[in-house]
Amino acid sequence: VSEKISTIMFDKTGTLTKGKPEVTDIIGIDVDENVILEKAASVEKNSSHPLAEAIVHKAKDRGLSFGDTSGFDTFTGKGVQATVNRTVVLIGNRLLFKEKGFLISSKIEEFLNRLETKGKSVMFVAFDQRLVGLIALADVVKETTPLAMKQFKKLGLQLVMITGDNTRTAQAIAQQIGIDVVRAEVL
């Protein structure tokens, strides 16, 4: 019996994309976007995650200062929390905020929908248990990815993309690069 490859599974970040996400949008909910970015970056400077590094980079670009943090805590694959100048700052994905009991208004859902269908990853930001904003990030697809996927398909292979992103963002990126099967929100 000859062995034959039928399916190839790809991790998204750094394999199909450049793995260098950038902050594209900051949406404040009754809080100035620079305040959100400054506190978020103060927390994220403790992390080496690519999304964290992108937030820190954006804050440096804007010349914002970083506050002192204490009580840094991480929720694997979902987000981080720390106290910045006596404010408890929680940054994470939709799953984390759902677990923590945050209610997402229809207005926020509208923003999310618009950002995620463009293939952006969205981080929620809360100060002292109050949702104050969203930070959207995008990771650029490698120039070689769409062509490579086309060639794999010509060989009759099934292509699968695996990502920690939410389903809407993952589907948008998969569509862009020609992958039909998506496994999203994988930790």
133 DSSP β-pair partners: 28, 125
CA dist., res. 140 & res. 110, Å (int)? 23
83 DSSP β-pair partners: 70, 88
CA dist., res. 47 & res. 107, Å (int)? 30
Q: Is 151 exposed, middle or buried (0-12, 13-18, 19+ CB in 10 A)?
A: exposed
Catalytic residue among 11, 30, 32, 128: 11
E strand or H helix at 18:
none
Active-site residue 165, yes or no? no
CA dist., res. 172 & res. 176, Å (int)? 6
Catalytic sites, residue numbers: 11
